[in-house]
Chains A and B, each alone.
Chain A
Amino acid sequence: MDQNNSLPPYAQGLASPQGAMTPGIPIFSPMMPYGTGLTPQPIQSTNSLSILEEQRQQQQQQQQQQQQQQQQQQQQQQQQQQQAAAAAAQQSASQQAPPGAAGQTPQLFHSQTLTTAPLPGTTPLYPSPMTPMTPITPATPASESSGIVPQLQNIVSTVNLGCKLDLKTIALRARNAEYNPKRFAAVIMRIREPRTTALIFSSGKMVCTGAKSEEQSRLAARKYARVVQKLGFPAKFLDFKIQNMVGSCDVKFPIRLEGLVLTHQQFSSYEPELFPGLIYRMIKPRIVLLIFVSGKVVLTGAKVRAEIYEAFENIYPILKGFRKTT
């Protein structure tokens, strides 16, 4: 076997350098296939500010109500504790602080997650897992929620400008456009605020990438539409739809990827020869997660923000299970 085996088990020329890992599946595809001409129900086809304002006010009221309820509950429980025996004095001391902390956390989460106005369709979903509905639990908060919020890194959206465009004219008269028909059949336009890139096609359809939130993506798309309008085309703003959202976060502990692929083999794909991360395809919600040994997690494939949060809350207990090295 030794003498006949003249085959090199490893070929240096075909060593996969750390930089060129391709999972082989277009995970981060800025070009989401939308051009079937059939656009499913858009989230916001009518740009009516009043409806949004109303809904935002409703949400704020709901949040305030929730906070008030929690505070009331806390007060009631505090009274009950004071009426209890002296031995409970220690308990009450320790339990007064968590209400303080639990009463804190809703505000914290809100300030972190709701800095940008939430979309009407999504808000009812995600405040509930974030705000602990049972305010006083001496147990560590980590068992209920991870306390880590994934940050959105990229939003891909599409919009129909509703008219045929002459890409040569756009490339000629716009400063921030590049057009190389031999390479790609669209104009690549960029704006500085919000920092995004758009692909504008001659059919009038446009893809906008690079925004960090849904609202920024919408604002950027509107700016591109305005630029096209000023170039003399009758551009409209039809069927704006968010196609993909990418988020990332750090669980701050190392993860045994080999163990994870053994226990969750029907969802995971871990090929260290190809890519250093584990590709986890969650079914509900339908999100793809890239999990790395350093504890960093990338979540992609979401259409709404809530899916990213939900996916992370689902994966966090699984990852915690692989925290111990032995």
Chain B
Amino acid sequence: MPGGRRCPDCDSTELVEDSHYSQSQLVCSDCGCVITEGVLTTTFADEGHLREVTYSQSTGENEQVSRSQQRRCLRRVRDLCRVLQLPSTFEDTAVAYYQQAYRHSGIRAARLQKKEVLVGCCVLITCRQHNWPLTMGTICTLIYADLDVFSGTYMQIVKLLGLDVPSLCLADLVKTYCSSFRLFQASPSVPAKYVEDKEKMLSRTLQLVELANETWLVTGRHPLPVITAATFLAWQSLQPSGRLTCSLARFCKLANVDLPYPATSRLQELLAVLLQMAEQLAWLQILKLNKRSVVKHIGDLLQHRHTLVRKAFRDGTAEMEACEREVQGQRQGEEEVGDSSLDLPVRKRPASPALLLPPCMLKPPKQLRPTPPVCTVTGDENISDSEIEQYLRTPEEVRDFQRAQAAGQAAKSLPNPL
């Protein structure tokens, strides 16, 4: 009996804690007046302390569903590995990764779509760890998933399982991708002059991709468009006389390969690099090559590519270091105080040799919005009433707005006059 409390009706001290079904109440035993009562509904905290048992928990439904789901997804993992013709050890690894992922509650409670995408993620991670070249695009096609959803699940699972996933191996990807081009045998769609020897094309494509990598065309970009452009150039250069008229789009159609959208710009960038290199060869300087005619000489250029790249391009980073040192030297020379210009002087240079920099750094710098003058703000200034008033509607505006809203609602609720 709680001390000190009296019934408000009969002033008695005989108060009893009695519960009306599940609701706890404090009742006066003399007159029956209910003084206080507990809450009728449970709180999240109550449920957290296991006072409530949900229906699905009591029937064990959740566990059954999740186990059957897991079995289905594991079967999908094995099917996917078989479709991709992966070695059997990959299958076991991928299944192990899936089971490991499934032990995390976040994955178990995820939507079915995510669990299905996870199938692809586990296969991809397995392939990457064994240096088996598989792109995310392929996996997404096979599991009918969006790249956005796939990327989210992939990043999440790599972080969750703490995995170390090596980068895509470029050389292997070139070999696999090039082998898929249908240009190695004559067929009704592929005329004889377009057929090419696989080994020659592979080796030349590899050299071109290596060249692209060296000249900053691969870092930060999707690898496949670069490889497509390199394959096209390799194919063209092996027999330029008959093939210069064939465009990149037509080439991909002939070879029965999808043309990735960025491939055309990668092609232009690669041709620009080759042109820069061609200017260093004496017998090509005279010919005054352009982007079409340089294709005929790709063989020569690739043969001497290391020397040519060194000669054709100034090391962009060495240039900047030299600039910085010069500016520092100037600063040390000057005893004057107050020279606070930190901008490197823009130097006029002859057109060639060009800077070896990624294309994004070679483009003219964007016109940045002029930074507003930094005014010292303390955060505690006075806020004038007029400044706030400008953000409030006048009563007339409010009335007009309400009228407009009402009219809009009325128009919506009217049946369509048809």
Contact = CB atoms under 8 A, between A and B. Distances in A.
A218 B374 contact: no
Nearest to A98: B332
Interface string B138-157: 10111000111001111110
Interface stretch (B65-73, B273-281, B386-394): B386-394
Given A97-B333, A254-B357, A277-B220, A9 B138 contact: yes
Interface residues of A, number: 85
B356 A325 contact: yes
A94 interface: yes
Contacts of A76: none
A184 interface: no
Contact of A226 (B258, B376, B388): B388
A9 B137 contact: yes
Chain A at the B interface: mostly helix, strand, loop or mixed? loop
Given A272-B222, A273-B222, A223 B387 contact: yes
B320 A8 contact: no
A158 interface: no
Contacts of A272: 168, 218-223
A135 B54 CA distance: 70
Contact of A9 (B176, B379, B381): B176
A172 B400 CA distance: 11
A249 B154 CA distance: 29
B180 to A, nearest CB: 6
Given A226-B388, A227-B388, A8 B142 contact: no
A207 B216 CA distance: 41
Counting chain B residues whose Cβ lies within 8 A of the other chain, the interface size class is 35 or more
Given A116-B376, A173-B392, A175-B393, A8 B257 contact: yes
B317 A1 contact: no
A23 interface: yes
Interface string B316-327: 110011001000
A47 interface: yes
B360 A293 contact: yes
A22 B152 contact: yes
A55 to B, nearest CB: 12
B222 A16 contact: yes
Contact of A273 (B136, B216, B392): B136
B354 to A, nearest CB: 14
Interface stretch (B18-26, B233-241, B259-267, B295-303): B259-267
Contacts of A273: 135-137, 168, 222-223
Given A25-B156, A254-B358, A273-B137, A324 B317 contact: yes
Most buried by B among A7, A14, A52, A230: A14
Given A11-B258, A18-B262, A269-B158, A176 B140 contact: no
Interface string B70-97: 0000000000000111000000000000
Contacts of B392: 173-175, 227, 230-231
A175 B391 contact: yes
A314 B42 CA distance: 51
B379 A215 contact: yes
B331 interface: yes
Contact of B136 (A7, A172, A215, A274): A274
Contact of A23 (B136, B151, B221, B361): B151
A261 B379 contact: no
B258 A8 contact: yes
Interface string A19-62: 01011110000000000000000000001010010000000000
A154 B60 CA distance: 48
10 contacts: A4-B85, A11-B137, A12-B261, A101-B332, A174-B392, A227-B388, A254-B361, A272-B221, A274-B147, A276-B221
Interface of A: 1-2, 4-5, 7-12, 14-18, 20, 22-25, 47, 49, 52, 94, 96-98, 100-101, 104, 108, 115-117, 140, 142, 147, 172-176, 189, 191, 193-194, 213-219, 222-223, 226-227, 230-231, 252-254, 256-258, 261-262, 265-266, 269-277, 292-295, 323-325
Interface of B: 83-85, 135-138, 140-142, 146-148, 151-156, 158-159, 164, 167-168, 176-177, 179-180, 184, 214, 216, 218-224, 228, 257-262, 315-317, 320-321, 324, 328, 331-335, 337-338, 340, 342, 356-358, 360-361, 374, 376-381, 383, 387-393, 397-398, 401-402
